[in-house]
Structure 1
Amino acid sequence: MKILYHHRVASKDGQYVHVAEIVAALRELGHEVIVSEPGSTQSKSFGKSSDAVSNIRKYLPNFIHEFAEFAYSLFDFIKLVRLIQVHRPDGIYERYNLFFPSGIWAKKIFKIPLVLEINAPLYEERSTHGELSLKRLAEWSESYVWRNADFVLPVTGVLAKRVLARGIHTEKLRVIHNGINRKQFSELISDVSVREKHGLQGQLILGFTGFAREWHGIDRVLDFLAEHRDENWHLMLVGDGPVTTKLNSQARRLGIENKFTVTGIVSREQIPEYVASFDIALQPDVVDYASPLKLFEYMALGKAIIAPDSPNIREVITDRVNGLLFDPANSTSFDDKLAALCFDGALRSRFSEDVKQALCEGEYFWDSNAEKIAAILLSRTNSHVGLGTQAP
C-alpha cells in the first residue's frame, strides 16, 4: 500500500519521534510511505525547534502568526497535489494540527481516504493558555478537519471523549496510545557507562526524561531530596528546558547541588541507556489528555514508575499493581508515594516485572500501532476509488 504521511511538525522533539517511528514502522511492514512535511525538518538535530516559528510568535501579534499558519495550508495544498499526482497514494495518514485543512482539501478532490491522528485538542489547549486571537477560524478549522477525516485516532480515551463531544461518530474512532520501538528499548541495555560518566555509582537515581517545563513539577522532587539529604539519592534530568535554570538555582539554595544533574539534550539513540540507569522513573505531572512518550520508555525498561492518579495515566498504569499513582490534589501524596519507592527495593523489583507485562499486554509498540493504522487505512481504501489503482 502507498501511504502519504502528512504533517506540519517543524521541530525535532517528542512530536517528531512519533512521526519518525510510525513512518519507519510502516515501511518495515512493507508499505511505501511518502512524507509531506516542512522542508527544514530533516536538517535539524534532535531537540531543535523551528526558529522561524519561534521568532514569529515572539515578535508578532497572535493574529498575524495565526493567519500565517492558515496561509501555509494554501502552499501545503499545492505541495500535496503535486505529491498525489506523482505518487498516486492509496491513502493519507495525517498528524492533526490547528489551521491545517489542506489534507482534507486534497482528500476531497482526489477522493482518497484520510486517517487523522489526534494528539491534543489544540483549539482548547491554545485557547486555555490565551494564545488564540482568530478563535472562530481556529474552531472552524479543527471541527472541519476532525469531521471530514475518514477515521480519527486519538491517543487516549480521555482525548477520545473530547473528540466524540465534537460530533464525531464512534464507529470512525479508535484509541491508539503512543508506544516504543521494541528493538531500541531492549532488556539488554547497560547503565554502567551513564553512572560512571556522571559519578553516580551506587546511588539511587530518580530520573526524568524530556523537555522540562514549570508545570512538570520537578521542583517538588528537589524539595523531597532536601528533606532526605542524608540518603544516597540523586535526581537526574535527561534533557533540558526553560525551567532548568530555576531548578539549578533551587538546588543551590537547598544545598543539594551534588544531588541534581541536568544532562542537557542527548540523542534519541542514547535515551534507552539513560533510562536504564534510573531506579525510579518520574512523571511528576501530565496534561490530562496526553499519552506521554516517556511513560512507555520507562515501562519498556522495567522502571518503578510514580505518576499522577489521572484518567489518562490509569489507562496504562494501575496503582500498586505496576506503579504508584499519587493524588495531585493532595500536597503530601507525592512525597509519601516517592518515599515508599525509595525505601522499598522489593516493591521496585515487583513493579519492574509487572510494568513490562503491562506494556506487552497493551501492545504499546510502534510496530503494533503501524499494523493497526495500516489495517484502518486499507479498510477505508477499499471503500474509495484510490489513486493507487485508478487515475482521478
Structure 2
Amino acid sequence: MKILYHHRIGSKDGQFVHIAELIRALEQEGAEVVVVGPRSVEQQSFGGETGFVSALKRWLPRALYEVLELAYSAHDYRRLRRAIAEHRPDVIYERYNLFFVSGAWARKRFGVPLLLEVNAPLLDERSRYGGIALRGLARWSERQAWRGADHVFTVTSVLAQRIGREGVPLQRISVTPNGIDPQQYLTLPVRAEAKCRLGLDGRLVLGFTGFVREWHGLESILDLMAQHPDLNLHLLLVGDGPARPALEARADTLGVADRVTFTGVVEREQVPSHVVAFDVALQPAVVPYASPLKLFEYLAAGCAIVAPASENIREILTHEANALLFDPEKPAQRAAAIVRLATDESLRARLGEAATATISELGLTWRANAKVVLDVAEQSVDRRSERAATREATGEP
C-alpha cells in the first residue's frame, strides 16, 4: 500500500508528533509513505513555528491572511499533482486544516481515494480562540474537505458526531484516538529513580506536560499547594507556554516557588522519562472534542490521573477505575481528588496499574491506529477498482 501523506502544519508541536508517529506506524505495518507538506517544519526545534508564517499572522489583517491560506491550496495543489504523477499513490491521507482544500480537489481530479484525519472542528475552534473574518469562506472550505473525503478519521466519538451533523455519513467515519508507542516506555526507570534523577526524591510530584495556557487553570494547583504544605507537593511542568510567566509570579507570591519546576520545552524522546516521575498526572481543562496527547502518555507511564469528566475524556477514562474524574464546573472536586491521591498511596498504585492496562485494553497505540487506516485504505481502493470496472463494462465516461 502506497500512501501519500498530505498536511499543512507549520509548527513542530503535538501535531508534528501525531504525524511522525502515525507515519512510522504505517511503515512498520508495511506501507510505503510519501509526504507532501511544508518542508520547513522538519528543520525546526521542538516547540518551534515557521517564522514567516508567524509574522504573517501578526501583521496582516485577518481577512487577508485567510485569503492567503486558501490561496496556498492552489500552490499546494500543483505540488500534490506532481506527487501523484510521480508516485502513483493508492490513497491520499490528509491531516485536515481550515482553508485547505487541495486534497479534495486532487481526489476529484485524479480519483485517488482521500482519507481525512480531523483532530478538531477548526472553524469552531478558531472562531472561539482567535476569530474568523471570512466565516462563510471558512465554512465552505471545511465542508469541502469533510464531505469531499472518502473516509474521515476523528480522534473522539464526540468529534465524529459533530462531523456527522455536517452531512458526512457516520459509516464513513472511524474513531482513532491519539496513542503511544509502547516501546518508548519499556526501559523507563521506576518512579522513585525517575524522581531522583530530576532532583525530586522525597516529593509527591504533581505533573503536567504540554503547552501551558491560561485556560488550563493551573494557578489553582499552586493555591492548593500553598493551602496544604503538609502534603509535600511539588508541581512539575514539562513544557512551556504563554501562561508560564503568570504561574511563576503566582508561585513567588504564594511562597511555593521552590516547589515548582518548569522544564521548558523538552525533546519528544525525553518526555516519557519525565512523565514516569509523576505521582499524580494532571489533565486540567480540555476542549470538548479533543483527544489530549498527554493523556495517553500518562496512561502508558502508569500515573494516577486526575481529569475532567467531560464526554470525550470518558471515552478513555472511568472514574474510580483508571482515574479520578471531576465535574469541570466544580473545581473544588479537582482539588479534593488531588488531596485524596496525595494521601492514599494504595489508591495511586491501583489507578496507575489500571492506567497502564488501559493502553492494551483499548488498543491505544499508533500501530493499532495504522492498522485501522490501512484496512480502510484497502476498502477504498477496492471500491475505486469496482467503480472503474463498472464504468468500463457499461461504457460510462
Give the TM-score normalised by the residue count of structure 2. 0.95
Counterparts of 1:226 and 1:198, CA distance in 2: 22
What amino acid is the match of 1:111? G
- State the aligned residue count: 386
Verify the 8 A CA contact 1:185 1:297 in the aligned structure 2: no
1:263 and 2:263 correspond: yes
Residue pairs, 1:234-245, within 5 angstroms: 234-245=234-245
Cα distance in 1 for residues equivalent to 2:144 and 2:358: 36
1:74 lines up with 2:82 in the alignment: no
Alpha-carbon contact 1:187-1:301 (below 8 Å) kept: no
Counterpart in the other structure of 1:389: none
- Local SS of the residue matching 1:278: coil
Residue aligning to 1:59:
59
5 Å-filtered alignment, 1:239-318, equals 239-318=239-318
Counterpart residue number, 2:326: 326
**Deviations 1:217-265 (CA, angstroms, capped at 9, x unpaired):** 1111111101012321100000110110110000000001111010011
Secondary structure of the 2:123 match is: helix
State the 1:198 CA deviation.
3.9
Alignment partner of 1:35: what SS?
A: strand
In structure 2, C-alpha distance between the alignment counterparts of 1:374 and 1:52, rounded to whole Å = 35
Offset at 1:197? 4.8
Give CA deviations for 1:6-62 in whole Å, capped at 9, x if unaligned: 011111100110000000111111111000111201111111122222211111110
1:369 corresponds in structure 2 to: 369
Q: Which residue of 1 aligns with 2:108?
A: 108
**1:37 paired to 2:37:** yes
Task: Give the match's secondary structure for 1:17.
Answer: helix
Q: CA deviation at 1:192?
A: 6.0
Superposition deviation, residue 182 in structure 1: 1.2
Shift of residue 212, structure 1, vs aligned partner: 0.5
Segments of structure 1 that go 5 or more residues without pairing to the other structure are: 387-392
TM-score normalised over the length of structure 1? 0.96
Aligned ranges 1:115-134 → 2 under 5 Å: 115-134=115-134
Match of 1:19 in 2: 19
Equivalent residue number for residue 165 of structure 1: 165
Deviating more after overlay: 168-177 vs 181-190: 181-190
Q: CA deviation at 1:188?
A: 3.9
SS in 2 for 1:133: coil
Structure whose residues are more often helix by fraction:
2
Measured in 1, the distance between the counterparts of 2:371 and 2:189 equals 26
Percent identical across equivalent pairs?
A: 48
State the alpha-carbon separation in 2 of the partners of residues 212 and 98 from structure 1.
Answer: 24
Contact in 1 for aligned 2:178/2:296 (Cα 8 Å): yes
Contact 2:188–2:272 (CA<8 Å) still a contact in 1?
no
Once the two structures are TM-superposed, the CA of residue 330 in structure 1 deviates from its matched residue by 1.3
Post-superposition shift, 1:194?
A: 4.9
Specify which structure has the bigger relative contact order, considering alpha-carbon pairs within 8 angstroms and separated by 6 or more residues.
1
**Once structures 1 and 2 are overlaid, which stretch shifts more, 50-59 or 174-183?**
50-59
Residues in 2 aligned to 1:271 and 1:171: alpha-carbon distance in whole angstroms: 36
Q: CA deviation at 1:193?
A: 6.5
Residue equivalent to 2:185: 185
SS of residue paired to 2:236: strand
Unpaired runs of 5+ residues, structure 2, are 387-397
Distance change in 2, residues 1:193/1:63 (3 Å): farther
8 Å contact 1:186–1:301 — kept in the other structure? no
Distance 1:48 1:100, change over 3 A: same
Q: Is the 8 A contact 1:180 1:300 kept in 2?
A: yes
Q: CA deviation at 1:104?
A: 0.8
